[in-house]
Each structure stands twice: as structure tokens, then as C-alpha cells.
Structure 1
Amino acid sequence: MTAPQTADIDAGKRDLFESLPRGSLILAFILVQLVAFAATYAAGIPTAYAGFVIVSVLGTAYAADEGIFGMTAAVFGSVLLLAIGLPLAMFVARQQPSLVVEQALDPEVHRMLYLSVYGPLIAALVSVIFGVPLALVLSQGFPGQSIVESLVDLPLVVPHSAAGIIVLFGFGEGGVFPQLTLLGTMVGFVLAMVFVSAPFAVNSAREAFEAIDTRVEYASRIHGANRFETFRRVTAPLAARGILTGGVLAWARSVSEFGAVAIVAYSVSFFYPPAGDTVTTQHAPVFIRRAYLSGGLEQSGAVTFILLVFSTITFLIIRWLAYSDTPATGGMP
């Protein structure tokens, strides 16, 4: 076959692939993957699914005429997706529906879910309120900025249990606010999560501010707006996507925090509206660990499944509310 004929075939294949609705292609690919996983799992050979994924991704990249480089990138990327997605799929497939329902009806699980959403939302809000001004200053630059940036990023590398100890030394008895009671309180719970999640809010907002064309802000000042008006009408709206992303990341990081929370507030006492009184329970990661130690893998797995579904739904709702009417300018998508 001559080179022109090969080129014509490749062009025809590419045109055919691109003419199909992208949404339909994605849905069809997902359905095929679900059917393949169900079949291999039912046959007792889930390992075979890994090979199917690589072959199907390779075939899809070839059909899309991505070339050798594109097919190689797709295959390498699918390996990472397998490392993330396959354990999740196996986890869901191995759950016992009766045990999941039993745990879903447990009032103690309800209190855990409430605390594990409500507390992180407060922590995320605090991180955004105080992190955005700092991010704005960092985006403009100043002497010694690298020291401040290192301080902001330090919680990302500090071991989580060490973060809890640091919070207790800083804000507990003998600390900056000795009148605060941290152990087992909502205040200590939120402070521990703010310590580990604030860098996400600051860095995401800073990147959004840095992505704004300074000429737009300059034009606002030329037309008579002061710095606050320029920030309110120009800078903040353009950076809104990055700010919201930082808040969502801070919330997600707080939901998953174990080490710092286990040190500062292993069991948290808080006002629980459905009960109309103060109750005590644990943050989700701590609660799951306790369930694992007392009830074994099956019980902790059921609680984890409930938390996974609940957190995913909450996360999607937050993203939808945050991004549905937000211009995609600046920051992370």
C-alpha cells in the first residue's frame, strides 16, 4: 500500500472517529469497562481486567489516530488509572448489601457523617477567608516572600500526627490562647484541619491571582477605582474559579485528615441539631479506624462505602454550586 493510500485511510478513520458524538463515545467506553469488569469479577479472574483495560485504551488511541506517542501516553496513563480505579471497583464489588444497610441506619454513623461534613466546611471557610488576602499579597511579591511561601507549604510536608502535636503546643494549654480548650472540642477539631488544609486554599488562590492580566487591573485604576474596588469588581471575579477550587480542595483535605485530628480531637463533642443536644463522635477517618479495630474489615468496609458515597455526592454538589456560574478565568479548572 502506498503512502498516499495509507494517509487517506488514516484521514478517513480520523474523520469517522471525530464525527461521532464525544459524549456517546465516552459513555460507550465506560459501559464497556463496567461490563468487562463485571464479567472478569464474576469469573473469578479480576486480574484479567487489567489487561483488558490496557488493550482497550490502546485500541481507542489507535482508532483516534493518536500516533505512537499518543498510544504510549494513553497506555502509561491507564496504568495509573488502574492503580486508583481497580481497588475502588474491587472494594465496591465486595461489599455486603445487608451490612451496608445496617450501618447506614445506625444513628452513630449519621452523627459521624454530619461531623465529617460540617467540621471540614468550617475549616475550609476559615482557610479561604484568611488565605485569600495572603494569596493576594504573595501574588504581588515582596521581600522575604520565599520565607512566607515556605511557611505556608510547611504543613504539606509535616507528618500528620506531628501537626496535631504542633497545634496543641501552639494553641493549647500554655500556648497563644491558653483559655481555649482544644482536646475533644470543635475548636480543636477545626484548628487541626485548618493547619493541614490552609496551604491548598492559599496556593490555589495565589495561582489564580498570578494568572490575571495586570493590565486589566491597571485599566480599572486608571478609570478611578481604588484598590478595594478594583479587587471587588475585577480581581476577585477573575480569580473566583481558583479561590473556589482552593476552598473545595481544603474541604476535601479536611475530610480525609486523620493524624492531626486523632491527636487533637479523637472524639469530638458538638451540638447535633437532629438530637437537639450535644453529642460525641469521631471524625470519619478516626471512626473507620475504630470500626476496623472493633468490628473487623467487613464492618469498617461498610462504613467506608457509606462515607465514600456520601463524600462523593457532597463533593459533586459543592463543585456544581461553586462552578456552574463561575467564569473559567484564572486558577485551576
Structure 2
Amino acid sequence: MSTETTRGSPAVALGTGTTVLAFVTVQLLAFAFAFGVDRPGAYALFAVVSTGAVAHYRDRGAFGVAAATLGSVLLVLLALPLLMLVASQDPGLVVEKATDPAVHRALYVSVYAPMLAALLSVALGVPLALVLARGFHGQALVETLVDLPLVVPHSVAGLAVLFAYSGDGAFDWLAVSIPGEFAAFGLLFDVPLFDGFHYDFSVLGTMTGMVLAMTFVSAPFAVNAAREGFEAVDSRLQYAARTLGANRWETFRRVTAPLSVRGVLTGGVLAWARAVSEFGAVAIVAYNVDVVYPPLFGERAETQHAPVFIFREYTTGGLDESGAVATLLLALSVAIFLVVRSLAYDDGGWP
């Protein structure tokens, strides 16, 4: 019997994980040293050379070494600004901002509103993605419309949302009066509980407008990722289910949906991440919003979406103030991103 450890076994996985951890640790230590001697550019060179060396050590061949080296250049271009941002902060100022209620409200809005936008994008985008995956006449026009928000300037997106939904827009007829016993429905619009309220559909300076603006720019990610998930499902499996007596709904529920769930989850995560980073459209539609914080039982207070809040801090307090808040937003976003993606995939893998 062969004693050779097979690829994908726990031993190999452990060894690979240990190697990756060691490599990342070396990179962080190298950056810390280069930053400490005020030579961050030297770290960029070290990162590229060390990546090529690892590829050579793992016997990837000349092509593999070249690919890893060139790819590491892009990774450095992405990672170095973030490392410099975090390393340049005054820890005392970061702690001060972390205890500031105004920062708490901004971070809360930057999780809550993007979550609503992502849920809306997935709920409405998945059916559209399924239709696109199956194909129909005029599909190119619909695909263009879905992808258009990706190329529309963000300020134009904000103006488009205002023209469509504010004032005498498309949904000005949506006015709802909710008595106190049903006031829990007001949670979606951040209104106090137990008092009842009269809701007029308004987007300028409201949470509704912020969510609509975020949905406008993030929906393409949800639709396209879900569509790729549906297209990856082997059509022969769906055909087999139909021949065994399953109707369309049963085939979707038992075959298509389970096999494409990764695409849907990935689309939701990407839509959330895109909404978190949105600035231009939100700044035009809902620069300031009123929120109930802490949720449910707090008081109403004015705040901004975190990217807008950071911009305001930059214009009023300078680079240090805005950098401290940006570091907190970065840490929160990375933490939520990793937790969501880790919990979303049963095998702990990444799509």
C-alpha cells in the first residue's frame, strides 16, 4: 500500500495552511521593518521578489514564476496603500474615534443600509438572473441595462435616482399610515417604535433614498454572479429531473438552486461590499440621514454613510481625523466580509 499523502488530505491541507501563514507573517514583518526605517518602497520590491522565489521553490516552472511575479505586482499595488493607511495611524486617535458616538452611527448606517440594498438586489436579481441564464429574445438589451450602472458615473447615478423617485417621481403615490399597534413595520424606515407613523415615499435625505442609490449601483453584481451560478449547473441534471416527473418549481428547488447557491451567495456578498463603498450616489441622494441609534430603543440622530462621513472628516479635520475613521471602517468591513464568506460556504472554501 502506498504511503504517499494524497492531494487534498488533511495533512496536505495543514501543510499548505501553515505555509501560507508563514508567508503572510514574513510579508507583514518585512513591511513593518521597511515602514520603521521609512523605506516602504523597499518592501514592494521584497514582496515581488519573494513571491517569485516561492514560485520557483515550489517548482512552478519559468511560466509559473513569471505569472506569480507579475501577479504579485498588482497585489502590491492593492495591498500597499491599505497597509500604509493602517500603519500611519495614531493609535490614540483611532481609539478616540472608536469611542465617538458619531462614528458609531456612521458605521451602523454603513452596515445596515448596504445589508438592505444587498437583500433587495438578491431578492429581485435572482429571478432575473435565472431568466437571463435560460435565454430569451432581446436578452442583449436587458443585459446592457443590467450592466449599465457599472459604467454610469456615480454622481449621475445619484441624480438619476433623484429624478426617478423624488418629488413627483414614479412612486410619490406610495404613502402609508401605520397605527401604533403595527409600528414594528417602521423598522425598515428607521422610525421610532410604538408611536405609529405616516410614511410618504421620499428619497432625498432619507434611508429609503440611500438604499435605492446603493441598490442601483450594486444590483449588477448580484445579478451577474447569480447568473453565472445558474449557467454552471449541468442542464442534463435538470433534464433528468424533469423526465423523472419533477415540475419546473421542483426542479429549481431540488436541483438548480442547491447547485447554484454559491453564485447567489457570492452575488449577495459582492452587492453588500459594493454598497458599503458607494460615495457619489449616496452623497447626492442622502448626504445626511436620520437614524434611530442604538437600534430599536435609541434616539433619532443625524449621521452620514461612512464614506461620506470620512469625506466630511477630511474636509473639516484633515488627513489624521479621516484616516482614523477610515481605518475603523476598513477593519469592520474586512471582519464582516470574512465572517459572512466563511459562514456562507459549508466546506469553508471560497468560490
Q: TM-score, normalised by structure 1?
A: 0.90
C-alpha displacement of 1:20 = 9.3
Larger % of helix: which? 1
Tell me if the contact between 1:127 and 1:194 (Cα under 8 Å) persists in the aligned partners. Answer: yes
Residue 53 of structure 2 is aligned to residue 96 of structure 1: no
From 258, 275, 280, the counterpart of 1:259:
280
Q: Which amino acid aligns with 1:176?
A: A
| Equivalent position SS for 1:143 | coil
Residues 232-247 of structure 1: pairs in structure 2 closer than 5 A: 232-247=253-268
1:3 maps to none
1:175 maps to 169
Separation in 1, partners of 2:39, 2:70: 22
| Equivalent position SS for 1:204 | helix
| Equivalent position SS for 1:270 | strand
Q: Which moved more, 1:140-149 or 1:59-68?
A: 59-68
Separation in 1, partners of 2:13, 2:126: 44
Q: Which amino acid aligns with 1:181?
A: S
2:325 maps to 303
Residues 169-248 of structure 1: pairs in structure 2 closer than 5 A: 169-179=163-173, 180-248=201-269
The alignment-based identity, stated in percent, is 61
2:7 maps to none
Change (3 A) 1:215 1:298: same
C-alpha displacement of 1:129 = 0.5
Tell me if the contact between 1:170 and 1:176 (Cα under 8 Å) persists in the aligned partners. Answer: yes
Residue 151 of structure 2 is aligned to residue 157 of structure 1: yes
Change (3 A) 1:20 1:320: closer
C-alpha displacement of 1:272 = 2.5
Tell me if the contact between 1:185 and 1:270 (Cα under 8 Å) persists in the aligned partners. Answer: no
Q: Which amino acid aligns with 2:155?
A: S
| Equivalent position SS for 2:318 | helix
Number of matched pairs: 312
2:42 maps to 48
Separation in 2, partners of 1:208, 1:69: 31
Q: Which moved more, 1:50-59 or 1:286-295?
A: 50-59
2:23 maps to 29
C-alpha displacement of 1:325 = 5.8
Separation in 2, partners of 1:210, 1:23: 32
C-alpha displacement of 1:152 = 0.4
Q: CA RMSD in A?
A: 1.7
Q: Which moved more, 1:173-182 or 1:134-143?
A: 173-182
Q: TM-score, normalised by structure 2?
A: 0.86
